[in-house]
Amino acid sequence: MPIAHDFVGKVAVVTGGGEGIGAETAMQFARAGATVVIAGRTAPTLERTASAITSQTGSGCIGMPADVTDEQQCILLVDQVLTRFGRIDVLVNNAGGARQVPIRQFRTDKYLAEFDLNLHSAFYCARAAASSMMAQGCGAIVNVSSLAGVFGTMGVAPYAAAKAGLQMFTRVSAAEWGPRGIRVNCVAAGLIATEKAKAKWARTGFDEGQAVSGFALRRAGMPEDVAQAILFLAGDGASYISGETLVVGGGPQLKGMIDVD
């Protein structure tokens, strides 16, 4: 059974909330009683997801289109949420993505765009939301990173570097903003079987079974695995946790020198 979370009366904002981990996270917040705002670039996707969440949970969920790689759109997003609801209790910086290109073939503009999406967007949104959180004396920010930012992954160098930067931004912002009541934590997601990921695996011939054979838990993660970790870090159960990165990756991937049962 999932951990029982209580976000009744809280307002949660989830970037990249139209699909995948973001949509599942928004669903879980709504089930826990929160009013949820999902942000993303594609309005029809946001509308479909928000409608589904509202109908399935009975909690309010609305979509607010925003390109979070644009600083001004992040500021406008936060202003719109505050105007409509008067507060932001939780911010989940989930927007992200990676191009699979070797370093020597990476175009400079595409390389920089990876940082805009995976690192700078979190800075823009967190900074915009921090003032209102400080004014209310509390708030929780959860940044969504990746195992690529912990261990590195060849073929996605700027993504890995940006996600590593996101983890350090988490630590520093937690230290700066903690005295004002804001907790900042991070989730580093491993191999997660979102619908988009599964479609990509099918196109490229990626062998999921082979990939997970080295995981302690022998399976890919599901969006709800990451969502539950996010809710934990955003909730009262993690009230004395800040500046940390929680790995959600299926356990240690260790090789041994003998066979074990």
* 180-39-59 Cα angle (round to 5): 85
Give me the helix-helix angle, 20-31 and 195-204, nearest 10°: 160
Instruction: List beta partners, residue 37.
Output: 13, 62
150, 188 contact by CB (below 8 A):
yes
215, 247 contact by CB (below 8 A):
no
Handedness of CA 211, 214, 217, 223 (dihedral sign): negative
Give all strands of the β-sheet with 139-146 in edge-to-edge order: 61-65, 35-40, 11-15, 90-93, 139-146, 182-189, 245-248
Catalytic residues: 159
